[in-house]
Chain A
Amino acid sequence: MKLRRGLPDDGSQHDAELEQALLEQALQNFRLSVHAWSEDEYSRSHTAKVIHLTSWRVAAGWALGCVLAAGSLTGGLYERHHRQEVARIAAAAEAARQQKLAAEQRAHEENEDLLAKVDSDVSREVPIAMEPLAQLMAEDEAQ
């Protein structure tokens, strides 16, 4: 009786022990699984951050480099264009000045010729009666 009663007790105790062992094993596996997952995600998120940060820096460096290169190129082109424009304006101004000087010179010469002609014409128009007197004055001036 005792044995018969003991057998089911032993059996249920064995079941309980088995169940307890199974529970402990499951909990241990669960713990290990969460730890493995967490470690992987933790290291991955940190690596990803570093990569993200590095790639962001590289991109920013490239962008800054491109902006600087474009700026230098544009600045150089603008400077060249500006210099050409200044040289063109200076040449035009110089040409205009030369033209003005030439015109003034020409006008001056024309005036001189005109005055000389007038003088000559006026001197030729001395009346015939006054010719001897004009000759005397010319001789005096020559002396």
Chain B
Amino acid sequence: MAAGTAIEAIATATAEEFAGLEMEAAAQEFSSVVQAHRPQIFRFLLASTRDVDLAETLTQECFLKAHRNWDRFRGDSSAMTWLMRIAINLQKDHWRNRRVQFWRHTRTNSVDMDEASEWLPSGERSAEQQMLAREQVKQVWKAVEGLSARQRTVFLLRFVEDLELSEIAQATGLSEGTVKAHLSRALGKVRGELRGKR
């Protein structure tokens, strides 16, 4: 009887130790995921909203939500795709709430296209090339602004985040065919914008 109790106590202690170790490992794993993907999530949200504060807020919310649901992440998709899906949903919720409460938020902090187009890496380019590149970036921003929310998301995931079609499909919850169709329409609009300026 006493031996049975002792074994039960050891089993309980071992289970607790394992649980503690598992929790610690999960925390470490999540921490490394945050470090690896936070800049990318922020970038996607920044490109989607053109609002630095909003992008920062949504990024924080994204990782908070991910942390709460980390134990439910089964690894069917990559952590990046899973996080991107959370970010897309948060962004959708934000715009939905904003539309409902439009009278509360008349002012937007979004950066305009001209300002967003000013950003270019300082490479080995001539002033003329820089100007041309800036003009092209502005045209793409203009085309992106005219896209539907879904087309914009797909476009940014493909051409800013370099995700594969299958990854975009996982992140957005769309089929690959639908992703292709959205991407084709988005590219058509970008092409049209560039053609118009030629």
Hey, which bits of chain A sit against chain B, CB under 8 A? 19, 22-23, 25-27, 29-42, 45
Contact = CB atoms under 8 A, between A and B. Distances in A.
B140 interface: yes
Contact of B139 (A26, A37, A40, A45): A26
Contacts of B52: 41, 45
Interface in B107-128: 116-117, 119-121
A46 to B, nearest CB: 10
Interface of B: 39, 42-43, 46-47, 52, 55-56, 116-117, 119-121, 133, 136-137, 139-141, 159-160, 162, 187, 190-191, 194-195, 198
Contact of A30 (B46, B55, B160): B160
Contacts, number: 73
Chain A facing B: main interface SS: helix
B190 A26 contact: yes
Contacts of A33: 116-117, 119-121, 133, 137
Nearest to B111: A37
A23 B143 CA distance: 12
Given A27-B140, A39-B39, A22 B194 contact: yes
B159 A31 contact: yes
B8 to A, nearest CB: 48
Contacts of B55: 41
Contacts of B162: 31
B159 A29 contact: no
Contacts of B195: 19
Contacts of A42: 39, 42-43
Nearest to B46: A38
Contact of A34 (B46, B136, B194, B198): B46
10 contacts: A19-B191, A30-B136, A30-B137, A30-B141, A30-B159, A33-B116, A33-B121, A38-B43, A38-B46, A41-B52
A19 B195 CA distance: 8
Contacts of A34: 43, 46-47, 119, 160
Contact of B119 (A25, A27, A36): A36
Contacts of B141: 30
Contacts of B43: 34-35, 38, 42
A33 B114 CA distance: 12
Nearest to B47: A34
Contacts of A32: 120-121
Contacts of A39: 39
Nearest to A25: B136
B27 to A, nearest CB: 21
A45 to B, nearest CB: 6
Contacts of B140: 26-27, 29-30
A41 B116 CA distance: 12
